[in-house]
Chains A and B, each alone.
Chain A
Amino acid sequence: MIEARGLTKRYGGTLAVDDLSFTLERGKITGFLGPNGAGKTSTMRLILGLDRPTAGTVTVNGKPFGQLAGPMGQVGALLDARAMNGGRSAYDHLLCLAQTNNLPRRRVNEVLALVGLSEVARKRTKGFSLGMGQRLGIAAALLGNPQILLFDEPANGLDPEGILWIRNLMKGLAGEGRTVIVSSHLMSEMENTADHVLVLGRGKLIADCTVEEFIAVDSMRSVRVRTPQPEELTRLVAAAGGTVKDGGDGAVVVSGLETGRIWDLAFENAVRLQEIAPVRASLEQAFMELTATAAEFRADAPGSAPTDGRVS
């Protein structure tokens, strides 16, 4: 279990993590969501003891990470697929990590087979593709057979086949009862894999809920309606306390009214309906709405033109 209380990190003048408190439970895939610069990586670095918090605490199974007697048996992490010496072979890279925790050599061969790198085990990693580096990083994370896994943007830069592999791997690991924490800005990816989401924006926790709750926040009451009498419907909905937006494609989107109430209104006032369906916003849409104000640099913000002459 990972527990953060008032976790805060300041790098120079930048507040990267701002008073975060959360508890990550066992046996779930938790997604860390947020735009670039939201503090996802910083939070992971704090959990892993790479950085010291400016204020607050974060513990793994009740202890600061740096005090775990056998860290590899409790937490495995992939922060950066390139965080290895390219002059070392894949086997030696894993061996030197395994030795720190007194893991047997046999484990190195096992995890190499697990990620499909057995054939290139003796090759130096500088010749590896990004996908192979990613697999080797995951192999390193799995060495100690840990209960908790942290993956920072694991799908970044991977081809569709690689992304599918990562997704299946995470599901498989969670299926075995492991806790998987994965950061991403690929909302569609989270929708398919995560059970729970922590949404960060400007270092602050914006949401801590299940994926369903997260999507439901704003969109449950939106219904897409197609009618040949949109003006009539708009008037009726407004009178009943709802709002209507143009849904494009000849349809309107009604918010603030239950689906049944819309049917009744249309029936009682003889408005012909051709289609009526609840709008289930994607995770991406919900995310965009939640973090719109939290993005560190918004390209569309007036007066926020870059001062250093770069065109963003």
Chain B
Amino acid sequence: MTATPTAAPNMNSLPSPAPKVTFGGALRSELTKIRSVRSTRWTLLAVIVLTVVLGVIATYGQNNAHRAPYFDPTAWSLGGVWLTELLIGVVGTLVITSEYATGMIRTSLIALPQRGLFLFAKITVLAAVVFVTGLVASLAAFLAGQAIMSSHHISTTIGHLGVVRAIIGGALYLTVGALLALGIGLLIRYTAAALATAVAVLFLLPIAANLLPHGLQDQVDKWLPTAAGAQIWTVNHAPHLNSASPIGASGPMLAPWTGLAVFCGYAAIVLAAGLLMFRKRDA
């Protein structure tokens, strides 16, 4: 397939700058890694498309006659992120577990043995890529959803109080979810087990909480990672009437920024534990 060079190689062309590890270099490397694998690109595109499509489906059935009190047109149009969080969770998990699965982690750490630096570059690049993707998805889903609902005169506009925060919030929700999944992947290292855990944490916990007795469920629901985090993309914060939003939680929820802070807290704890283990364990 290729010509075989049989002569001894001439290695005399020295790289002009002396090799040196820097955070900027580590960032460029991680960006190359994330953009050069087809599955990541397709998954991120799917996040945008699905967020919009799900938002369109969710808003299509809404009309003035059936709307609940405190109906939240913003949250209904952004509700797709509730599901695309799963896809983002896959991206976040694979960013690290695929390195373990392929053995790339060893090649990576031989080039860049400073593990803290390596991981911070990974976290930064993942967060930036997911945030930009999430912002596109969130804004497009909002505009599409409002356009559909405007025919029933139940839409809102970007100028309303809290709407911009909710649109950016959709992107933040996906970003924190990706980082939480990265932390899980870092701790578990095996793709299948890490993916199952990420899905359980991001998606199955709220469903499992539904099985609890009502009084207890009201106490537990708001503290679950995604239920807390999802408050950042709701506008009409109606503590006792959450059927107004697509989240479907039963009890009173946390305030938007409080909820996001709780979600970030979970991600930070898991990432910190992951970093600690990553520095300690053999690669």
Cα(A153)–Cα(B115), bound, Å: 26
Q: Are B282 and A95 in contact (CB under 8 A)?
A: no
Assess A101 versus B107: contact at CB under 8 Å? Given A85-B37, A168-B7: no
User: Which residues in window 54-113 of A have CB below 8 A to B?
Assistant: 65-66, 68-73, 75, 77, 79-80, 82-89, 92, 95-97, 99-104, 106-107, 110
Closest to A86 in B: B102
From B15, B20, B114, residue with most partner A Cβ within 10 Å: B15
B24-32, B82-90, B219-227: which lies at the A interface? B24-32
A115-123, A205-213, A268-276: which lies at the B interface? A115-123
Q: Residues of A contacting B151 with CB < 8 Å?
A: none
Summed over the interface, the residue pairs from A and B with CB atoms below 8 Å come to a total of 166
A173 at the interface (CB under 8 A from B): yes
Q: Which of B2, B16, B282 contacts A119 (CB 8 A)?
A: B2
Q: Are B16 and A84 in contact (CB under 8 A)?
A: no
Q: Residues of B contacting A115 with CB < 8 Å?
A: 5, 9
Q: Are B25 and A99 in contact (CB under 8 A)?
A: yes
Q: Residues of B contacting A95 with CB < 8 Å?
A: 32, 36
Q: Are A96 and B29 in contact (CB under 8 A)?
A: yes
B103 at the interface (CB under 8 A from A): yes
A254 at the interface (CB under 8 A from B): no
Q: Are A82 and B102 in contact (CB under 8 A)?
A: yes
Q: Are A87 and B39 in contact (CB under 8 A)?
A: yes
A137-145, A215-223, A285-293: which lies at the B interface? A137-145
Q: Residues of B contacting A72 with CB < 8 Å?
A: 19, 111
Interface size class of B (residues with CB under 8 A): 35 or more
Closest to A127 in B: B1
Q: Residues of B contacting A172 with CB < 8 Å?
A: 7-9
B64 at the interface (CB under 8 A from A): no
From A48, A71, A110, A117, residue with most partner B Cβ within 10 Å: A71
Q: Residues of B contacting A92 with CB < 8 Å?
A: 32, 36
B113 at the interface (CB under 8 A from A): yes
Q: Residues of A contacting B39 with CB < 8 Å?
A: 87
Dominant secondary structure of chain B at its interface with chain A: loop
A161 at the interface (CB under 8 A from B): yes
Cα(A260)–Cα(B29), bound, Å: 67
Q: Are A70 and B107 in contact (CB under 8 A)?
A: no
Q: Are A176 and B11 in contact (CB under 8 A)?
A: yes
Closest to B114 in A: A66
Q: Are B8 and A144 in contact (CB under 8 A)?
A: no
Q: Are B19 and A169 in contact (CB under 8 A)?
A: no
Q: Residues of A contacting B6 with CB < 8 Å?
A: 164-165, 168
Q: Are A73 and B107 in contact (CB under 8 A)?
A: no
Assess A83 versus B15: contact at CB under 8 Å? Given A71-B112, A96-B29: no
Q: Are B103 and A83 in contact (CB under 8 A)?
A: yes
Assess A102 versus B22: contact at CB under 8 Å? Given A84-B107, A107-B15: yes
B98 at the interface (CB under 8 A from A): yes
Q: Are A51 and B283 in contact (CB under 8 A)?
A: yes
Assess A73 versus B18: contact at CB under 8 Å? Given A85-B104, A89-B36, A145-B11: yes
Q: Residues of B contacting A173 with CB < 8 Å?
A: 8-9, 11
Q: Residues of B contacting A168 with CB < 8 Å?
A: 6-8
Q: Are B19 and A70 in contact (CB under 8 A)?
A: yes
A50 at the interface (CB under 8 A from B): yes
Q: Are A100 and B26 in contact (CB under 8 A)?
A: yes
Closest to A123 in B: B1
Q: Are A52 and B282 in contact (CB under 8 A)?
A: yes
Q: Residues of A contacting B2 with CB < 8 Å?
A: 116-120, 132
B28 to chain A, nearest CB (A): 4
Q: Are B113 and A99 in contact (CB under 8 A)?
A: no
User: What per-residue 1/0 map shows which CB atoms of B87-100 lie under 8 Å from chain A?
Assistant: 00000000000110
From A48, A101, A104, A169, residue with most partner B Cβ within 10 Å: A101
Closest to B26 in A: A100
User: Which residues in window 203-255 of A have CB below 8 A to B?
Assistant: none
A114 at the interface (CB under 8 A from B): yes
B66 at the interface (CB under 8 A from A): no
Q: Are B104 and A83 in contact (CB under 8 A)?
A: yes
A157 at the interface (CB under 8 A from B): no
8 additional A-B pairs beyond A49-B109, A92-B36, A101-B20, beta carbons within 8 Å, are: A48-B110, A70-B20, A82-B102, A85-B98, A140-B107, A144-B15, A165-B6, A169-B9
By a beta-carbon cutoff of 8 Å, the part of chain A in contact with chain B is 45, 48-52, 65-66, 68-73, 75, 77, 79-80, 82-89, 92, 95-97, 99-104, 106-107, 110, 114-120, 129, 132, 137, 140, 142, 144-145, 161, 164-165, 168-169, 171-173, 175-176
**11 residue pairs bridging A and B, Cβ less than 8 Å apart:** A71-B21, A73-B20, A82-B103, A83-B103, A84-B104, A99-B28, A101-B21, A116-B4, A132-B2, A145-B14, A176-B11
By a beta-carbon cutoff of 8 Å, the part of chain B in contact with chain A is 1-9, 11, 13-22, 24-26, 28-30, 32-33, 36-39, 98-99, 102-104, 106-115, 280, 282-283
The 8 closest A-B pairs by CB, nearest first: A172-B8, A73-B19, A83-B103, A70-B19, A92-B36, A101-B19, A99-B29, A96-B32
